[in-house]
Amino acid sequence: MKDFRREIAVAIAAQEKIKEVGLDEASVYEILEVPADEKMGDYAFPCFRLAKAFKKAPNAIAEKLAGLITVPAAEKVENVAAYINFYLDRGEVAAEVLKTVLSEGDGFGSSLLGKGKTAIVEYSSPNIAKPFHIGHIRSTVIGSAIGNIMKFLGYDVTRINHLGDYGTQFGKLIVAYRRYGSKEEVEAEPIKTLLKYYVEFHKLAEDDPTLEVEARETFSKLEQGAEEEYELWKWFREESLKEFTVVYEMLGIEFDSYAGESFYSDKMDRVIDELEEKNLLQESDGAMIVDLEEYDLGKALIKKSDGSTLYITRDIAAAIYRKETYDFYKNLYIVASQQDLHFKQWIKIVELMGYDWAADCVHIPFGLVRLENGAMQTRTGNVVFLEDVLRGAVEKTREIIIEKAVNTDDVEEMSKTVGIGAVIFQELHNNRIKDYTFSWDKVLNFEGETGPYVQYSHARAASLLKRASEDGIVPSMEGLASASKYLTSDSSFALVKALFNLPETIEEAGLKYEPSILTRHIVDIAQAFNGFYHEEHIFALDAKERDAKLLLVKCAKQALANSLGLLGVGAPERM
């Protein structure tokens, strides 16, 4: 698609006075702004920084330059105060957008930015034998969306579910299972049963501290490959994965690898040996640490006094393995902000080990989810299961469909598409770094800036195109030529601009690892489309006008479908 901003930057940079102050095309491109008020044009160039060099007031500079600059795609260039405002030719922009969207189709908004580069995205990563609760939705859907966006931008994406399938909690579970567990109970409801055992263990351990000692000893046996402990661990893992898979299928999420912490159990000796060789390890009360005090990162515990390893050891081993296996360009970790120090520590250690790719390991933090009655705690059992949330959303949607007598051939399928889409969209609409309180009412609210609103907009566009087809109307490509005449109204151009800005928005969302940037823009497209729908007579009597407007409808539908797909949300044809 033509870069109108670039055309404006070229025209400004060509001015002798601009050259004199050392501003080139790239600098001008970055300085250009998009006015908040559309009445102030499509782009604006602020002249404040020119005042010293020109020895004139910014307003006077803007007035002088506005009379000198000519941009082929701009129908008007004028100054307002200290700004030079550029008003694009609406017809030219509309024709360019329609031509691009219609020719690129499912690929509209994609790019080759990441061509030849591998991006690893680690996300979800629930703990085996612990509940897959609403808190896990953040890593799961944010990570999936980032993976989708990166792939759309041309990266070779590898999706990893780094399962929490190792650690002292397994010693606790094995002890609990042996004391009061039941095979039949676990097989009937694996996660809820194992959670019950875990909670009960901690209650009993309050009065009997020897249980904690027994649990550590049991995990140590597991690390050493004891057959009975290994078989129980393997069984807990398999049963847990069965339940996790149900949730992943409901969300439509897939992974290329389920290599969790246990996968690296035989790769940690290499890490410890290398740390010793490079004089990074120190002994402290029988344990092994890396002193990071000079970097304000404290002391990183690498190996406990009993010889067992920790998360940090396994993460270092995992990073080395991934670099050697995938030769990644970026190694992304979608993990809660609570783990900031952990990631800063191990990434610094990898750097100190001499690996220059340490900087390519990026922690992408997100805020926490709280319940209305307080923070979630696995130890106390105060959790909301993610599967229950998704099923609740589907049930709520089903009730609305039946109540409103929505015309659909498959109530169940629509209930899933819209209900689960509502949960995903609401999650991705939040800025990822902010904490938020989970509320059933908010998640299942189908009004306002929500997934169902955007899905309905897509379905409305599909309905218009279906009606046209049933009337024997197939918009001809001559509508492209007519776009410059019939798509220049305020409502038409608002939609055209929203579509025009989509590729840049997708790229920004990818580079900043922030799906909410795209999610909010999707709402803008939906709102612009609905404004166009209400303000314009789409099935105009003039065939060329009708074709131009129907082609814009088709482009809006395509943009919404592509964008929703990147978020992992369905785009129904009917609602």
Return the H-helix or E-strand segment holding 477: none
CA distances from 154 to 66, 104, 123, 142, 143 (A): 39, 15, 20, 19, 17
Helix/strand/coil for 383 = coil
User: Which amino acid is it at 9?
Assistant: A
Residue 131 near residue 244, CB atoms below 8 Å:
no
Residue with tokens 């640490």: 289
Listed residue (536, 538, 507, 535) closest to 521, CA to CA: 507
User: What's the rounded Cα separation, in Å, for the pair 348 and 339?
Assistant: 14
Distance (Å, rounded) from C-alpha 149 to C-alpha 162? 20
User: Between β-strands 156-160 and 282-284, what pairing exists: parallel, antiparallel or unpaired?
Assistant: unpaired
Which DSSP string do the residues of 501-524 spell out, in sequence order? THHHHHHHHHHTT-HHHHHHHHHH
**DSSP code per residue over 483-496:** HHHHS-SHHHHHHH
Helices (H) and strands (E) in the chain, counts: 24, 12
Instruction: With beta carbons less than 8 A apart as the criterion, state whether 531 and 494 touch.
Output: yes
334 neighbors 514 (Cβ within 8 angstroms) = no
Strands 74-80 and 83-88: antiparallel
Angle in degrees, 0-180, between the axes of helices 543-567 and 478-486, rounded to the nearest 10: 100
Q: Quote the distance between the C-alpha of residue 36 and its chain's center.
A: 26
Residue pair 333/363 in contact (Cβ under 8 Å)? The answer is yes
To the nearest 10 degrees (0 to 180), the angle between helices 490-500 and 502-511 is: 40
How far apart CA 141 and CA 519 sit, in angstroms, is 12
Identity of residue 332: L
Helix or strand or coil: residue 370?
Answer: strand
Residues classed as catalytic: 130, 133, 136
Residue ranges of E strands in 48-145? 74-80, 83-88, 118-122
Name 282's bridge partners. Answer: 289
Q: Do 462 and 571 meet the contact criterion of CB atoms below 8 Å apart?
A: no
Amino acid (one-letter) located at 209? P
Helix (H) or strand (E) holding 571: none
Taking the C-alpha atoms of residue 158 and residue 321, their distance in angstroms, rounded to an integer, is 14
Q: What is the per-residue DSSP string for 203-252?
A: HHHHH-THHHHHHHHHHHHHHTT-HHHHHHHHHHHHHHHHHHHHHHHHHT
